[in-house]
Chain A
Amino acid sequence: MTLMTALIAGLVLGGTYALAAMGLTLQYGIARIMNLAYGDMIITAAFAAFVLQGAAGINPILGLLIAVPGGFLLGYAVYTVILAPLVARAPNRGVLEVDSILTTFGLLFVVQGILLVLFGSNYTSYTFLNEPVNVLGATIAANRLIALILALGLGITLYLLLTRTRWGTALRAVAVSPQSAQLVGIDINRAAAFAFALGGGLAASAGVVISMYQTFTATGGVVFTMKALIVVIMGGVGNLVGALAAGLILGLVETLVSTYADPGLTLAATYAIFLAVLLWRPQGLFGRAVR
């Protein structure tokens, strides 16, 4: 396998990681909710895509148009109904973090339970766009390429929105300092709810795309949460570009290690980089030093 093929395979794999992590970084960075049920939101979207594809015959690309707004609304509802009261009563960030971890840990089991009742615990998969595509001499599956394109597209669009618009500036202000943001007239509760909902929408897009090529089960959400968490922390909490870059780096490293060293070492390599980043840049690759 040539270096070029390995690089492209790595970027495509990384695209999945980045896509899965961007929503979590918004939820954690701006809404300040460490959402342990994030992976289960991904799985919910994967099942939605499965149902749309199987029962309604809607292909997953069109399914995105239904699942992403659905994820957004679900995220909004979860924030306003379950999490907003916690935010309101938390005296400081530490308390909120503990409360939100406990709450979303419970939410994880609620979502998982509902999925188990609806779909059982079987492995679920379907085939969509499992066609070879030639990119610079490397053969990759079209469905995985979509994940990369979507990750790059969404990541860059959201980055531009966050940095170039008034609305984005307000969101970033909330991320940096919620107290000060209030002083300049930003409704931080609305901003946080919006960021959390946006994260839900991104989780849904990741779920739909992942369902195109990966087998999933009702109880498999925690794997996605873990991977996304690693990417988020590596990239810097709340940093979209960081999540994008960290996801791609992780994919590249895994593929290169598997090509040139041993496939058995991919997990070890993942955690080695994670450890290295934590040791030398605890704020993440793109994060700013903690104030």
Chain B
Amino acid sequence: MKSLKDRLRLSTFAVLAAASLATFALSAADAAAEERKSIKIGYAVSKTGANAGGAAMTTIPNYKLWLADVAANGGLELPDGTKLPVEVVEYDDRSSAEEVVRAVERLAGQDKVDFILPPWGTGFNLAVAPLFDRYGYPQLAVSSVTDKAPDFVKRWPKSYWFLGGGRDYAGALAKMAAAQTEAGVINSKVAMISVADGFGIDLVNAARPAMKEAGLEVVMDRTYPVGTQDFTTLLKEAASSGADTFVAFSYPPDTFALTQQSQVQAFNPKVLYLGVGAGFPTYGRNLGPKADGIMTLGGIDIKNERNMAYRERHKALNGEYPDLWGSVITYASLQMLADSIKRVGLDREAVAKELSTGTFDTVLGETKLEDNQLRQLWLLGQWQDGNLVGVEPADRPGASKPVLPKKAWQ
């Protein structure tokens, strides 16, 4: 009997012990939820494949720089003043739209990160926008050029668009060309070529009506397939078209090829406007003084000291200066995210609201979104003395005057 009693007591003790262990484990879990050790930030970006060149220029180095800056600062600051280190989850989307969707799905569903940074490229940002929306993540779509941003903001209220649309850039170009025509510097004829792909199609579709509205005459309008590397025939045609303005809505390899081949052909339009790639730091460095006068999208205000300081830090960390269009905006968007977290904490709903309505102090200066879009942009830049300076909008503080006609190649 005794032994049975003992046994009973023993088992009671065991149950009690197990129960207390369980409560202890539960309270430990509670404590972990209250006292989190880190903030998880994830992103999927094209590290390999066709988009890797663009992502390696505008997106990845700025993510790295921002994460390094946050780490140096002791982590991301929360409203109560505590700082938490950032834990990064990174995926390579291999330049495949299916892959980027899968990776974002994984970041949200499986890794359960606190915030997701956007992928590189207009198409990829559109591909993941419904997912960001469904999981309730704010999407800082920086490297996306789209005229439909106002519609997208209605459809996905937590999406933010930072780089303007084709109509903005084409409109600024047409405005500048019309003003120069009026001043008698150039004639009103324009020769345009464009790559038959997303960026080229968007821009040329916006440019056609914009040129017409500005009273300019498009005398040549040709498209070429992606991957074209020989522009002899197109440049010859442009040269014989009588246009003083030559516009190429091109991708980086095409931009470099056009630059080299127009030198060989001694093709000297009075306005030479080239697409993506003409704002890369290597572009200006490789060309040296020959770059002077070339126009493209973007530009910076070289009198903005914070931007210039950012450029030096970017070079110190990544070994190369940032490009002169989207890079600084990518970095500024991340500063906005950090500031929002500092003001309202990790609640994604509150962060999204803060991003929409708040005013931020970034490397761009005072930054505020209008209808979830960044509208303080350099839409047209020109290489002048080794810098790509912003010339349009001409009434924006810090704008430089365009220097035209462009000098002939030496």
Contact = CB atoms under 8 A, between A and B. Distances in A.
A binds B: yes
Nearest to B286: A127
B354 to A, nearest CB: 34
Interface string A117-157: 00011110111001110000001110000000000000000
A104 interface: no
B280 interface: yes
A264 B256 contact: no
Interface in B46-66: 47-50, 52-53, 55-57
A189 interface: no
A213 B240 CA distance: 24
A13 B230 contact: yes
B252 A215 contact: yes
B222 A217 contact: no
Interface residues of B, number: 40
A258 interface: yes
B266 A139 contact: yes
Pick from B223, B236, B257 the residue with the most CB of A within 10 Å: B236
B260 A122 contact: no
B232, B266, B320 — which one has the most chain A CB atoms within 10 A of its CB?
B232
A255 B224 contact: no
B224 to A, nearest CB: 4
Interface in B193-243: 193, 196, 222-225, 227-230, 232-234, 236-237, 240
Contact of B232 (A127, A131, A140): A140
B224 A263 contact: yes
Most buried by A among B48, B50, B230, B257: B230
A123 B249 CA distance: 18
B32 interface: no
A18 B257 CA distance: 20
A9 B231 CA distance: 10
B228 to A, nearest CB: 7
Contacts of B23: none
Contacts of B56: 120-122
A35 interface: no
Contacts of B230: 9, 13, 254-255
A90 B26 CA distance: 61
Given A120-B56, A139-B264, A215-B253, A263 B233 contact: yes
Contacts of A259: 233
* Chain A, interface residues (CB within 8 Å), range: 35 or more
B90 to A, nearest CB: 14
B166 interface: no
B225 A121 contact: no
B356 interface: no
A122 B47 CA distance: 10
A121 B233 contact: no
Contacts of A276: none
Contacts of A102: none
Contacts of A5: 232, 236
Contact of B233 (A9, A140, A213, A214): A9
Contacts of B229: 214
B291 to A, nearest CB: 12
Contact of A223 (B52, B224, B227, B240): B227
Contacts of A112: 48
Given A223-B227, A255-B233, A123 B256 contact: yes
Interface string A236-254: 0000000000000000001
Q: Which of A213, A254, A258, A264 is most buried by chain B, counting CB atoms within 10 A of its CB?
A: A258
Nearest to B227: A223
B256 A215 contact: yes
A13 B233 CA distance: 12
B47 A121 contact: yes
A121 B264 contact: no
A264 B223 contact: yes
A1 B236 contact: yes
B57 to A, nearest CB: 7
Contact of A123 (B225, B227, B260, B277): B277
A130 B260 contact: yes
A215 B232 contact: no
B263 interface: yes
B12 interface: no
Given A9-B233, A264-B222, A267-B227, 9 more contacts: A1-B240, A120-B56, A125-B286, A214-B229, A215-B256, A217-B53, A218-B52, A223-B227, A263-B224
Please give me the 10 A-B residue pairs with the lowest Cβ-Cβ distance, nearest first.
A121-B52, A215-B253, A263-B224, A141-B264, A121-B56, A267-B225, A1-B236, A9-B232, A258-B233, A215-B256
